[in-house]
Structures are given as structure tokens and as C-alpha cells.
Amino acid sequence: MCVFCSIVAGEESAEIVFEDERTMAFLDVRPLFPGHSLLIPKEHHETLGDLPGALVPVLFTNAQFLSRAVEGGMEAQGTFLAINNKVSQSVPHLHVHIVPRRKKDGLRGFFWPRHRYTSAEEMTRAGDAVRGAVAALQDEER
């Protein structure tokens, strides 16, 4: 059983901040800032891509709700929401990070360096690749 499933089962302690029938949120034990919460589906699904479609609106409605709650509760100026899928994912149970943000808090929007495309062609190639995958997945769903 994974550590987040153990929290759902009540076998591992956690500072639970929200719970409903399908989801749960608790404080991250190593927060970026106090109030940093993790929202999970109670059912074990590893990544967002694995989450059954019926749970997507449930999870995101609660992510919206918690972004308001974390911002308000922590008297923050905003929030940052993030999901690591596989890469940089240390717990293989889907979780949405909900992080309170303040101006000049040291997080510059994203944690990683960002770059411009080196040319318009490179950007078009990336656009073509993603559009191609979108079309293939749409075909699969038909």
C-alpha cells in the first residue's frame, strides 16, 4: 500500500484539512510554505493521465475550493497549484500541490529555468507534435 493510501486508510497520521467521499487533502510534511496542502483522490491512481474521467471534475472542483481555502486560511495573496506526473513525482499516488503564495516569497512562479524557442520553426515543430498527439488521442476516443 502506498503512503497516501495508508493516510486514506487511517494507518498513517496526517494533518487532514479536507475530506469528502472521493478525495482528501492534508498538509505536506515538507511544505514550501506553511499551509501547503496535497489534494488526492482516495482511490489509488498514479498520475493525472490514469485518473478515470468521472473523477476529474471531482478533483478539480475540490482543487478550486482548496485554492480559495488555503489562500484565505493562510492570509496569502494567491496560490500555486501543481501536479508532478512521473518525473519529479516522489509519491506514486496522484496529488495536487496547493501552495499559498505571497509577492516576493522567493518562488518566481515556476521552480525551473524557462527558455524561449530558438526559432519560429522549433515552436511550430513542437506545436505540430502536440497537435498530432491530440488528434491521435481524439481518434482513439471516437
Nearer to ligand AMP, 14 or 24 (CB): 14
Closer residue to ligand AMP (CB): 28 or 76: 28
Give the residue, chosen from 10, 30, 114, 142, that forms a contact with ligand AMP under the rule CB under 6 A.
30
Q: Which stretch binds ligand AMP (CB under 6 A): 55-63, 87-95, 102-110, 116-124?
A: 87-95
Give me the catalytic one of 36, 93, 95, 97: 95
Regarding beta strands 96-101 and 37-41, do their DSSP bridges make them parallel or antiparallel, or are they unpaired? antiparallel
Nearest to 12 by CA among 38, 47, 51: 38
CA distances in angstroms from 127 to 17, 40, 72, 113, listed in the order given: 40, 31, 38, 21
By beta-carbon proximity to ligand AMP, the closer residue of 91 and 126 is: 91
Contact call for residues 24 and 63 (beta carbons, < 8 A): no
User: Which one among 1, 2, 56, 91 touches ligand AMP, defined by CB under 6 A?
Assistant: 91
The closest alpha carbon to 79, from 94, 54, 100, belongs to: 100
Q: Which of 91, 110, 25, 30 is nearest to 61 (CA)?
A: 25
Catalytic residue flag (residue 45): no
Using CB under 6 A, pick the residue from 21, 86, 90, 118 that binds ligand AMP. Answer: 90
> Nearest 5°: phi and psi at 124?
-65, -40
Does position 89 bind ligand AMP by CB under 6 A? yes
Residue ranges that bind ligand AMP, judged by CB under 6 A = 3, 12, 14, 26, 28-30, 38, 84, 88-91
Task: Tell me the catalytic residues.
Answer: 95
